[in-house]
Chain A
Amino acid sequence: MFPMELCNFSQSYISNVAKLQPMLTSGTYFMQGSEALAEAALAAGLRFFAGYPITPASEIAEHLAKELPKAGGITIQMEDEIASVAALIGAAWTGAKVMTATSGPGFSLMQENIGLAFMTETPMVITDMQRAGPSTGQATKCGQGDVMQARWGTHGDYTSIALAPNSVQEMFDLTIRAFNLAEKYRTPVILLGDEIIAHMRESITIPPKDSIEIIDRKKPKQGDTMFFGGDEVPPMPSVGEGFNVTVTGSTHNEYGIRITSDPVGHRKLVERLVAKIQNNVDKIVEVETYNTENCKVGIVSFGCTSRAVYEAAELANKKGIKTGFARLKTLWPFPEKQVKALAETAKTIIVPEMNLRQVFFEVKRVAEGTAEIVPLNKIGGGEMITPEEILAKITKESE
């Protein structure tokens, strides 16, 4: 029992809080990637953050510990990453927008309940600021080795959404987008950043509040009973609203009642979970392209590595090598259409990434032999792939 005099709770509290929602006034700021991410979360309507300290993502929790209470939300440090995502699920079912922040080792621990979030269709944003792994690896050094974990991290069949920002500005923009996608499709969304983007400082423009599109989950109408089927994305009630919602990670029917051995029921549920993302790939996928219609050499990149590609492509074109690129703002679902188009124009596609080939194999799969796919990999010590290294590869491949 809670002493009611302390605060006006539930609906009245939440509606009061909506008025509180602070966000930086629009304008240009010089800030860190992690701060931009946290500010975007506030702008998107974050109400509950649960996390566990980890380099290089702790700045996000620290910023939110200070700012989120001012917005009427709660930041809590849980006993581990498993508990963090479990707490997010609990909070999300009260109607709150929820988020956590971590890096590879924590992301591994979270996978159990990320699976639960997929199965229960619980919207949440999981931000993974990648560092060099596996295991503890090099905690303070950048890596891009969690690409496949963001797709296949938890067990079973599902389709994930993962976004990959490459600037402080995009840490803001794509975090807002991550919340919107999570709410729209009732699914966990992974913001796959990296140590470099999280820690670097750049100037960013925060748009006026009313120009930011904010999507909220579809709520049920009085009398609705199907919260786990019927529609492609069913409406989501909150606990305490009187819907008697039965949330379970076990296979369940449209009403949330467990069906733990019926083959048809399992197919129906899990195929819908996959289809609600796959059927909307065109709406979800975003790719930045340059000179893709007219290039001999193409580059597919994402995250911090893509920053070196801008310069490399420019230098190559100056040298007379027709070079284009596709920069994946969405990593999952994989931008097959855009990469395929590039593969049909370019003779060669170079895939630079700070891991030992992950996106490479996806590009190869999508290209289906239309272009030659060349890897360019570097790991360790947080050393980035330089524009010169990419240029050298472009030059070599164009010979």
Chain B
Amino acid sequence: MSAEFSAKTYLREIQPPFCAGCGAFTVMNTFLRAVHEMGHQDLRKFVFCSGIGCSSWIPSPHFKADTLHVTHGRSIAAATGVKLMQPDLNVVVFGGDGDIVGIGLSHLIHAARRNLDITVVMVNNMIYGMTGGQVAPTTPSKTFTTTTPYGNFERPLDASRLVISAGACYVARWTTTHIAQLKESFKTAINTKGFAFIEVISQCPTAFGRRAGFKDAGEMIQWFKTSSITIEEASKLSEEELKDKIVVGEFVKKEAPSLTETVYAVLKEAQKE
């Protein structure tokens, strides 16, 4: 780490589209701080892929880096092409819950199954924010949204648990109140050989909080603070007691042959013939 951290070093001078109180600011800042602490003075060794949705705007067009801003849900598939052909760059995907586990869910599962060496940051605000607050696959049951005016009649998906079972090498979940832990997780994820997934529970006061009964972003932060419990604490509780809790921590940290490793080993073999 050389100079003092300034997010501006890594950002274009473009006004971000995020609402006041949006958690995307925290995610953006914390990520850049992690990158800075890893010793990167610029983002030359990174490629960022994102799809459609508020958090897809975190890297593109704001990061002074190579960024691919693609179709809704397809960022992980695009990242597959980038990583396979440029394995020595760090490929990081930013996306929202709608992007990553709504429309793009199958790409997430397959990237984890393949153990593609990328980092996926899913900013989970439990809502489709950019389109105006429609119900998401992550919206808690009974929540009021613009498309569930009588309350959400579905159950939310636990994305982290899903990715664990698909074979990811690193999986962590934090909220936007866990800045120090989140920053360390970004570093660990980028350094992970294999598929890394970080879920950040993030506040959307405009499209989620307003209809879900939160006065402002501050109230949502309070909710995250009071509802978050660590994996260790959670292990002592029953499923019923865990119902309204946000379990945070590092769920998985393991090593396994990554996709680029296995693909290039095959290439080497084929070229011997």
Contact = CB atoms under 8 A, between A and B. Distances in A.
B79 A90 contact: yes
A348 to B, nearest CB: 46
Given A244-B66, A249-B69, A257 B88 contact: no
A107 interface: no
Given A1-B117, A2-B87, A87-B77, A79 B66 contact: no
Nearest to A16: B271
Which of A90, A113, A246, A258 has the largest number of chain B CB atoms within 10 A?
A90
Interface string A1-21: 111101101100000000010
Given A76-B84, A246-B69, A249-B70, A69 B64 contact: no
Interface in A244-266: 244-250, 256-258
Contact of A70 (B90, B110, B273): B273
Interface residues of B, number: 52
A89 interface: yes
Given A1-B193, A112-B71, A239-B47, A94 B61 contact: no
Contacts of B107: 79, 83, 86
A247 B80 contact: no
Interface size class of A (residues with CB under 8 A): 35 or more
Which of A87, A92, A112, A258 has the largest number of chain B CB atoms within 10 A?
A87
A116 interface: yes
Contacts of B179: none
Interface in B168-182: none
B36 interface: no
Given A83-B74, A247-B68, A249-B71, A70 B81 contact: no
A158 interface: no
20 contacts: A1-B90, A3-B193, A69-B266, A74-B84, A74-B263, A78-B80, A86-B70, A88-B81, A89-B68, A90-B85, A94-B81, A98-B81, A113-B70, A239-B47, A239-B66, A239-B68, A240-B66, A247-B67, A249-B69, A249-B70
B106 A80 contact: yes
B71 A257 contact: no
B155 to A, nearest CB: 24
A94 B106 contact: no
B261 A6 contact: yes
B75 to A, nearest CB: 8
Which of A20, A91, A239, A257 has the largest number of chain B CB atoms within 10 A?
A239
B261 A3 contact: yes
Interface in B248-273: 258, 260-261, 263-271, 273
Nearest to A89: B78
Contact of A243 (B66, B80, B258): B66
A240 B70 CA distance: 18
Contact of B264 (A7, A87, A91): A7
A7 B69 contact: no
A79 B80 CA distance: 11
Interface in A21-77: 47-48, 50, 69-70, 72, 74, 76
B68 to A, nearest CB: 5
Interface string B33-50: 000000000011001010
B271 A72 contact: yes
Given A91-B82, A91-B84, A83 B77 contact: yes
Nearest to B266: A69
B237 interface: no
Contacts of A84: 77
Contacts of B71: 86, 112-113, 115-116, 249
Nearest to A82: B74
Contacts of A246: 60-61, 67, 69
Contacts of B81: 48, 50, 86-94, 98
Nearest to B268: A7
Contact of B68 (A7, A9, A74, A90): A90
Contacts of B271: 20, 69-70, 72
Contact of B265 (A6, A72, A250): A6
A74 B80 CA distance: 11
Contacts of B68: 89-90, 93, 239, 247-248
B234 interface: no
A242 interface: yes
Contacts of B85: 47-48, 74, 90-91, 94-96
B267 A74 contact: yes
A116 B73 CA distance: 13
A112 B70 CA distance: 10
A82 B271 CA distance: 30
A248 B77 CA distance: 15
B61 A248 contact: yes
Given A78-B110, A86-B80, A86-B107, 12 more contacts: A82-B77, A89-B70, A93-B66, A94-B86, A95-B85, A239-B68, A240-B86, A242-B44, A246-B60, A248-B60, A248-B67, A258-B69
A248 B62 CA distance: 12
Contacts of A115: 71
B270 A69 contact: yes
B146 interface: no
